[in-house]
Homo-oligomer: A and B are copies of this chain.
């Protein structure tokens, strides 16, 4: 018997039939002897419809009222799900974020969780009932007003509740089978990852993998909550995000008896994490090039101060080698394309002071990231990555690396091809005979 927190997104509870299907799944988990807490998002397009209504009423809704409006969506889905579970003969009660003890700061629309005190939830499961909790919402204790957690808020609610209740696992139900070695829409041979570390999952999420949001993974890592990402349409296991070692049975091939395996790399593959977890991609960034910056100390810092003052986060940075004759250099950086207008207008405003010649804005870039905790101890990963891209005729515009990630910027229209080439080069394709070298079949 375990304590399980399950989270179902909007597409899993889009209509009455879907809600009944989810109810059946929850009832099964409960009947199997588990304590079950369910976090639920608003039904299907409800949130978008409410935003649309607000925009019909006013171009600039006060954020406090917007949060009150949007939280109606989860109120509807949580009550319907509780009813549907009750109809299957299993006791269930629904709770708002406030009733579940999700305490946040007062940043309406993007509140951060500052505490979780789920005493009503603990009482409810102790009584043998299933507790249904509205995702995406909490309460600002200084005013007793409802707040929303922003994008990915329901996943974060689920992980936060799992941490506070010391749940055995937090199951995130979604419309895909788990986390893949690459987006299967781009790489048909992509494989589902069975097990991934928090650090790798963080890098995947930060690099464009959409299945889990960054803050949810951060929360899970901080509190050591095992997160199981799985499909709400099948009962297959999905991807387990955890730092706990895999059970021995998960190693599909024994290196000692398989003559095809090089003992040097095989040891790494079985004793430690596999080298490569997957290939992520991101089309949401743009590149700004500040042309003709005086190559004197402090100019680059000033540029990034100005961009930061617009509330914009920068991702990758490249400074060209200065041309000695002119004393000028070019600085390029990437940023979310949605922040492009804010950053360029702020830079233009400070152009006289910084003294650059012009700005170039390019939103037709793509970013590919190769992620794997094993790469830090394996030389040659970069070389293999660049070779693969070169063989595919793809030009690299920018590069950045961390201990467990290498990211490159390409033209946006080359990105799909780049992802496929890299996925194949690192033998992540599901048909590859050598996958075990990179830990492929064991994941």
Task: Identify the stretch in A60-68, A190-198, A402-410 within 8 Å (CB) of chain B at 4 or more residues.
Answer: A60-68
Q: Given contacts A86-B65, A99-B144, are A80 and B94 in contact (CB under 8 A)?
A: no
In the assembled complex, which residues on chain B have CB atoms less than 8 Å from the CB atom of A23?
Answer: 57
Q: Is the CB of A62 within 8 A of B86?
A: yes
Task: Identify the stretch in A71-79, A307-315, A373-381 within 8 Å (CB) of chain B at 4 or more residues.
Answer: A71-79
Q: Is the CB of B57 within 8 A of A68?
A: no
Q: Given contacts A72-B76, A99-B144, are A65 and B94 in contact (CB under 8 A)?
A: yes
Let me know if A337 is at the binding interface, CB within 8 A: no
Let me know if A19 is at the binding interface, CB within 8 A: yes
Q: Which of the residues B16, B57, B80 comes within 8 Å of A16, measured between beta carbons?
A: B57
Let me know if A54 is at the binding interface, CB within 8 A: yes
Q: Is the CB of A87 within 8 A of B57?
A: yes
Let me know if A58 is at the binding interface, CB within 8 A: yes
Q: Which of the residues B54, B86, B144 comes within 8 Å of A83, measured between beta carbons?
A: B54
Q: Is the CB of B80 within 8 A of A69?
A: yes
Q: Which of the residues B16, B57, B76, B144 comes within 8 Å of A69, measured between beta carbons?
A: B76
Which label, helix, strand, loop or mixed, suits the secondary structure of the A interface?
Answer: helix
Task: Encode contact with B along A362-386: 1 for CB under 8 Å, 0 otherwise.
Answer: 0000000000000000000000000
In the assembled complex, which residues on chain B have CB atoms less than 8 Å from the CB atom of A54?
Answer: 79-80, 83
Q: Is the CB of A86 within 8 A of B58?
A: yes
Bound together, the chains give a CA A72 to CA B60 distance in angstroms of: 22
Q: Is the CB of A57 within 8 A of B84?
A: yes
Let me know if A287 is at the binding interface, CB within 8 A: no
Most buried by B among A65, A75, A94: A65
Task: Encode contact with B along A1-43: 1 for CB under 8 Å, 0 otherwise.
Answer: 0000000000000001001100100000000000000000000
Q: Is the CB of B53 within 8 A of A65?
A: no
In the assembled complex, which residues on chain B have CB atoms less than 8 Å from the CB atom of A300?
Answer: none
Let me know if A281 is at the binding interface, CB within 8 A: no
Bound together, the chains give a CA A93 to CA B145 distance in angstroms of: 11
For residue A54, give the distance in angstroms from its CB to the closest CB of chain B. 6
Q: Is the CB of B57 within 8 A of A83?
A: yes
Bound together, the chains give a CA A84 to CA B73 distance in angstroms of: 20
Let me know if A165 is at the binding interface, CB within 8 A: no
In the assembled complex, which residues on chain B have CB atoms less than 8 Å from the CB atom of A122?
Answer: none
Q: Which residue of the partner chain B has the closest CB to A134?
A: B68
In the assembled complex, which residues on chain B have CB atoms less than 8 Å from the CB atom of A99?
Answer: 144-145
Q: Given contacts A20-B57, A65-B86, A86-B62, are A71 and B75 in contact (CB under 8 A)?
A: yes
Q: Is the CB of B79 within 8 A of A65?
A: yes
Let me know if A347 is at the binding interface, CB within 8 A: no
Let me know if A142 is at the binding interface, CB within 8 A: no
Q: Is the CB of A84 within 8 A of B58?
A: yes
Interface residues of A in 374-429 (CB under 8 A from B): none
Bound together, the chains give a CA A255 to CA B78 distance in angstroms of: 65
Bound together, the chains give a CA A83 to CA B75 distance in angstroms of: 20
Q: Which 9 A-B pairs have the closest CB atoms?
A: A16-B56, A69-B79, A58-B87, A68-B79, A72-B75, A72-B72, A61-B83, A65-B79, A57-B84
Q: Which residues of A contact B (CB under 8 A)?
A: 16, 19-20, 23, 50, 53-54, 56-62, 64-66, 68-69, 71-73, 75-76, 78-80, 82-84, 86-87, 93-94, 99, 144-145
Can you give 11 contacting A-B residue pairs, CB < 8 Å?
Answer: A53-B76, A54-B79, A54-B80, A61-B83, A62-B82, A62-B86, A64-B93, A65-B94, A66-B79, A72-B72, A72-B79
